[in-house]
Amino acid sequence: MSNQLKPAASGQDHIQGSDSAAITLVEYGDYQCSYCGDAYALVRDAQEALGDDLRFVFRNFPLAEAHPHATAAAQAAEAAAKQGKFWEMHDMLYENQQALSSSDLMTYAKEAGLDMEQFKKDIGSDAVSDKVDADFESGVRSGVNGTPSFFVNGEKYEGGWQDGALTAFLKSQL
């Protein structure tokens, strides 16, 4: 089915790395999905190996019925983004995948140094929940069929990503 990323990575996205990077890697992920936890470390490896050649984008794809904390975790990351701390929250969520209750989310927000009043307002806001829903719907349209799903320069990546396979593939594209 579809293998093209829709819409393409843009200023609406959370982006790490340079706009002039040769490769853009987009991940659709769920904070409670254990495979996504594995992928978190492997994306890190790829970023280290490719340096300025890699731009990384993360989009939310919470499987809420399978993972009861996934949506709230995604909303926490988006609420942190409102204060410019998306990646800090993203990293903390993946490093603490086993502890994603609402009180855990508050603890991470505090650790990230967020304005807590604002964070509490944002995490329940329509804007934040719409952003998570919009990411999810863009994933569905792009043919995401599970998490994590990767797109490399706009095309769905169907190959292996574990055990260094992702880094090896990205390097081969340079």
Binding site for other proteins (CB under 8 A): 1-2, 63-66, 136-137, 140-146
CB neighbours of 141 closer than 8 A, spacing ≥ 6?
2, 6
CB of 69 to other proteins, least distance (A): 14
Scan for tokens 């304005």, then name that residue: 115
Residue type, 137: E
Of the chain, the end-to-end C-alpha distance in Å amounts to: 27
Q: How many residues does the chain have?
A: 174
Inter-CA distances, 123 with 5, 107, 132, Å: 27, 14, 11
CB of 68 to other proteins, least distance (A): 9
Find how far residue 67's CA is from the centre of its chain: 16
Q: Distance between CA atoms of 76 and 87, rounded to whole angstroms? A: 11
CB of 141 to other proteins, least distance (A): 5
Closer residue to other proteins in complex, CB, 21/64: 64
Closer residue to other proteins in complex, CB, 17/62: 62
CB of 156 to other proteins, least distance (A): 9
CB of 133 to other proteins, least distance (A): 9
Closer residue to other proteins in complex, CB, 30/88: 30
Closer residue to other proteins in complex, CB, 17/29: 29
Closer residue to other proteins in complex, CB, 80/152: 152
